[in-house]
Homo-oligomer: A and B are copies of this chain.
Amino acid sequence: MRSARSPHASEPPGACAMRNLYRFVEPVILYMLKCKGHSYGYDLAGELSRYAFTGAAIEKAALYRTLRHLEDNGFVVSGWEFHATGPARRIYSLTPQGERHLEEWAALLNDLSRSMSRFVARVRSAHENHKEVKAGAAALPAR
């Protein structure tokens, strides 16, 4: 495991996540590693768009940096894998802390999702009320 660099290294996602969401790269990578068992950067990069839940493309650099960040925090571990052909691969897999971290992410995203849909509902009802108020204040059939 690599040594800690981030000032938020030991914070739970709830404390740190809203500080920096890492564009949701982190939970997606954790989930992919959970599904695949283990994988490496180049492979993950190829499938990120299938797993990502935002339309935004995920940068290759962001992917590698997030993997390093996750390892700094003990959520994944890595080791080199050598093949007869092609360059070596750094294979990552989840640690038990990483499993928990993914669950924390899921809880956080669940809360955020609910809060967001509540907010959207409020915005849309405000929009409806606004239209009604305008129509009522005008007290005229049409315009």
Residues of A participating in the B interface, judged by any CB pair closer than 8 Å: 14, 18-19, 21, 23, 27-28, 31, 34-35, 53-56, 102-103, 105-106, 109-110, 112-120, 122-124, 126-127, 130
Contact = CB atoms under 8 A, between A and B. Distances in A.
Interface SS of chain A: helix
Contacts of A27: 119, 123
A23 B34 contact: no
Given A35-B126, A130-B34, A56 B19 contact: yes
B18 A55 contact: yes
B110 A113 contact: no
A106 B118 contact: no
B56 A18 contact: yes
Nearest to A118: B53
Given A18-B23, A21-B21, A23-B18, A53 B127 contact: no
